[in-house]
Structure 1
């Protein structure tokens, strides 16, 4: 795909909302990111929409010039808060907020620190515009500690969900029941990769998820994983973090890893194919197989290439060209 216009500095937001079963609501939120009153912003594109009915969760990939991304995501969040009520929301995926997660990632000629500044500004604007909106910060937006998303979620009980009265936000008042608590932050790109095992045994799924987790002694670096019942089987859902290469020679010839660069900094992440292979092996050792792999959105390179192409061509609704899951 063609390179971006000279001087165009791009970042992406993988907006996680607690709604998937009402398609028109999800698409209204996506379209809100593109502009007001039918006037589409030329430097914003919605690259992908992934919705999961069982999870009742959608991930909307918004790419834009870093100068306009904050306002674009703010517009999408405002629409989401009007349409999603956490008092009646149901789904098997853990969540705390109607807008559950707002991570911002650098793509082209943008540093993660600048993405953090955009994330902090977005958090302040959301709290100002939405009564009852409460925010916790992570990564480069969480100064000075820069606590990771995993650390913040553990502190807030995100995985066990959801006593709003006990939550203490970084910005905003105590979370309102309708809005819940929203996580906003910035980091190097985090990819989502899910693999389904041919079993209904949740305990077995949790065992496999634990074995590949980066915190496990033999786990995969940068991989966070959970197991969920999904469409009558068990899905191993993985967040795949990018990590900075301190010693690139260790990973450059290793098929486990994929590498890319942003502003001259080198990053790596575990290949989706390798994640699938490892889960398949762990499942086979337990006498079961795997059914398939879904990459929720894009690898970092794919996101960068699609963003550059979509914005160069002024294609706001890029997700309609690509369709559903981008493999």
Structure 2
């Protein structure tokens, strides 16, 4: 019989670490998230998913937990990651600044994004105190009072191109140590990762398609941030799909662009991964190119909530293993 308490207030973190080629390190980081200081397993924490990409040399570990447990769980995972990953020798085609590159925290149920921001700020303070050489920049609800977005902060820091840490100015911690690099910590409504591969090796074409669907483009897709990368001999259009609140958006059978979900009565929308794939396919087709497929890295917001509730209710800490290991 489950002993999970009623009314569990759930959050998720899609922990991005700069390692994928050494599977044992990635799994050690995931397992560290499940243990309390005394070595006992957290009852209200589950690792739902591990996605690792060899070319990117980057892994995304989806950790779900009660809001009370999430900060300690992420802290333990980060300590293990910093112990095992050295940015001085790290190689991969995906931009990154830190051994632990990104710690975004999202509300799933019973929690507002502002509370996730408080968890993120507390975690940032604990992390720079716990790990010598660790330094942090804040974004979203953790970045008070400005609440600058992750995209804004990355542009300011040169995340897309920089690998020299010496001139970076963190929000917390000392100047970044070369081994640790710089870590982004923040909170926002849920952000998905959705990638579409085009059947081409033409990076310029991929960048053109990425630019066309980017949300900042006048004709782009709302809430979609994009980059194009060489990947497994083809070009991958990598998309961060942000949730947004929009009064004008209405669900209807005629409009398949947006999906909806709610947290504590707040209604959010996001551009459908199917619609993103269709738009990339159309733009590629206009250039005589096909697409190979779409990869949703992890879960939609509703899927993440459902899996988290099940995993924690049933005390399944290593939930990713029942889904066949590393999966999308």
> Could you say which TM-score interval applies, normalised by the shorter chain?
over 0.9
1:188 positional shift = 0.1
Q: Which residue of 2 aligns with 1:124?
A: 125
Gap regions ≥5 residues in structure 1: none
Please give the per-residue CA displacement for 1:285-317, whole angstroms capped at 9, x wherever unaligned.
Answer: 011000011100000000000000000000000
Provide the C-alpha distance between the structure 2 equivalents of 1:246 and 1:174, rounded to a whole number of angstroms. 42
Kindly indicate whether the alpha-carbon contact (under 8 Å) linking 1:251 and 1:257 is maintained by their aligned counterparts in 2: no
Q: Which residue of 1 aligns with 2:247?
A: 246
Provide the C-alpha distance between the structure 2 equivalents of 1:117 and 1:322, rounded to a whole number of angstroms. 32
SS in 2 for 1:165: coil
Provide the C-alpha distance between the structure 2 equivalents of 1:266 and 1:221, rounded to a whole number of angstroms. 16
Deviates more, 1:35-44 or 1:77-86: 35-44
Provide the C-alpha distance between the structure 1 equivalents of 2:283 and 2:239, rounded to a whole number of angstroms. 15
1:89 positional shift = 0.1
Provide the C-alpha distance between the structure 1 equivalents of 2:102 and 2:156, rounded to a whole number of angstroms. 15
1:228 positional shift = 0.2
Q: TM-score scaled to structure 2, two decimals?
A: 0.96
Q: Which residue of 1 aligns with 2:172?
A: 171
Gap regions ≥5 residues in structure 2: none
Q: TM-score scaled to structure 1, two decimals?
A: 0.97
* Correspondences of 1:301-312 after superposition (within 5 Å): 301-312=302-313
1:21 positional shift = 0.2
Deviates more, 1:85-94 or 1:162-171: 162-171
* Correspondences of 1:1-327 after superposition (within 5 Å): 5-36=5-36, 39-249=40-250, 254-323=255-324, 324-326=326-328
SS in 1 for 2:166: helix
Kindly indicate whether the alpha-carbon contact (under 8 Å) linking 2:202 and 2:235 is maintained by their aligned counterparts in 1: yes
Provide the C-alpha distance between the structure 1 equivalents of 2:72 and 2:115, rounded to a whole number of angstroms. 15
Provide the C-alpha distance between the structure 2 equivalents of 1:312 and 1:5, rounded to a whole number of angstroms. 8
1:249 positional shift = 3.0
Provide the C-alpha distance between the structure 2 equivalents of 1:28 and 1:185, rounded to a whole number of angstroms. 23
Provide the C-alpha distance between the structure 1 equivalents of 2:144 and 2:253, rounded to a whole number of angstroms. 32
SS in 2 for 1:164: coil
Kindly indicate whether the alpha-carbon contact (under 8 Å) linking 1:74 and 1:126 is maintained by their aligned counterparts in 2: yes
Please give the per-residue CA displacement for 1:71-122, whole angstroms capped at 9, x wherever unaligned.
Answer: 0000000000000000000000000000000000000000000000000000
- Matched residue pairs, number? 324
SS in 1 for 2:194: strand
SS in 2 for 1:51: strand
Provide the C-alpha distance between the structure 2 equivalents of 1:38 and 1:21, rounded to a whole number of angstroms. 27
Provide the C-alpha distance between the structure 2 equivalents of 1:52 and 1:122, rounded to a whole number of angstroms. 26
Q: CA RMSD in A?
A: 1.4
